[in-house]
Amino acid sequence: MLPRNFNIIMLAAALSVLCHVTYRNTRTASILGEAIELIEQNYVDPVDQQALVSAAMKGVVSQLDQHSSYFAVDDYESFRDSINQEFAGIGIYVEQPVESAPVRVITPLVGSPALQAGVLPGDEILRVNGEDVSSMALTDVSDRLKGPPGTQVKLRVRRAESEVALSVERATIELESVIGDHRDKDNRWVYRLKSQPSVAYVRLKSFGEKTVRELEEILAELNNDFDALVLDLRGNGGGLLYAACDVCDMFLSGGPIVSTRTRGGIIDESYSATPGTLVREDIPVAVLIDENSASASEIVAACLQDNQRALIVGTRSYGKGTVQEVMPLQYGRSALRLTVAKYYRPNNHNIHRDPDDDETDEWGVVPNPGYVIPMDGSSLMKLSLMWRAASFPLLAGVNPPAPEDLVPVMPNPDSENTEGAGNEFSGGGAVEDASPPTKPVELSAEARRNVQRGPEALSIDPPLRAAVGYLLRRGESGAANSASESAEGPGDSQPQDTEPRKSAA
């Protein structure tokens, strides 16, 4: 056979294979496109093509796990805002309690343009730049409030019985993910417990793009000038995997952090701590978790527990041990969030809670023995209102809801709808709100003793009270003297591997 003929045959074979692969890849898409085209041409009423595509995409991902999802254009923009921890707007949290009623301001953010312009909690937004928005949906009003930093937006709001005209200059609003116990007279966060200043207190609301930098700056400012540290991850639904790993690395000078495994159990990535820490290794640490601590929060809690670096206090975590990757579609206008791996804690357990798992199965991060401390509905509500007042000083004492009208939301009051930013911070997906227990909370005798041994000033928050009691005893006995600590009872022993877990981001 002539070489020229052989080359022609090989080229034809290659083209045939390429055509076959292309056909296989486009066949499904062509079926979907054909169906949408038929609907557009023949359906009895006019249809929105983009709405059909969005519905089809959501139908596709609904056949996958609960954490895979499709982001339409608006949803993807809000998701990126939340992960990037910033948006362009005026800096207010808003809500629309009644459909077609005016959108209402929950509160302006501390230091925001809205606060400086005189926007107040309870203001009802009637007009934006002269346009009547009094019956518009919340998302449509939010879209009109957003705009390039430095531009003006004119508002007309209803305040009590009168209407007020305001002009607000838009700016880049940064969403903080790391907060403290209370604010000082200048409205700056204080990262120490008011009743126990020797104990540092840091609450992580999410794991976003700026979380690592925020925490590094806070720990540098504290400069290890504290006897113990509480890391509060309650209500933290997760976020970015790398952020969780970097947070762990601040407390460890070595040892495994987490590993991820793809289809077939193949190890994809393995993360380990690097030499050096931001928190001295002789300073005792406690981590608070609850049923809404998920994903990246579970990576941190499981890592510090397995490496015996922290005591875990609270209730069993959510149990999300999968990793999602966000894959842009439509040239970056929309996106597919797809579960691509599972993560494994240092003890090689994956703690994902499958749909058919119950309380007897192995999932979630479980607090150390003697430190499983749930909270009743009344305590949850008091804590939620306290967090709300600390985060938003203007809301302190302003129309506090009646207890019977409230459902505790442990992810914290900061998770309200925000102009320009979505509610969901993270790769962990939305985590359900906590509901008040229907019967009184029962503690084990050991857990009750550990709560009582904590400072009475923290009685509003039993898990924190127990954690601080443990930390103070550790400090008194000396971090290196584990023998004296173990003599206090099994609940006060060094953190142990108690339960397998998983994390996702």
Is 134 annotated as catalytic? no
Q: What is the DSSP letter of 119?
A: -
Residue 147, by phi and psi: left (phi above 0), alpha (psi -120 to 50) or beta? left
b (16+ CB within 10 A) / e for 16-38:
eeeeeeeeeeeeeeeeeeeebee
CA 50 distance to own-chain centroid: 29
Place of tokens 């084990």: 444
Q: Mapping DSSP to helix (H, G, I), strand (E, B) and coil, where does residue 206 land?
A: coil
Is 320 annotated as catalytic? yes
C-beta of residue 191 within 8 angstroms of C-beta of residue 222: yes
Q: Active site residue: 81, 290, 306, 492, which one?
A: 306
Is 295 annotated as catalytic? yes
Q: Active site residue: 295, 297, 334, 477, which one?
A: 295
Q: Active site residue: 146, 320, 342, 502, which one?
A: 320
C-beta of residue 484 within 8 angstroms of C-beta of residue 476: no
- Taking CA atoms, 369 is separated from 200, 305, 308, 442, 456, in Å, by 23, 12, 14, 15, 22
C-beta of residue 451 within 8 angstroms of C-beta of residue 465: yes
> CA 71 to CA 178: how far, in whole Å?
26
What are the E-state strand segments in 178-297? Answer: 178-179, 182-183, 189-190, 199-204, 228-232, 256-261, 267-272, 285-289
C-beta of residue 365 within 8 angstroms of C-beta of residue 500: no
- Catalytic residue positions? 295, 306, 320
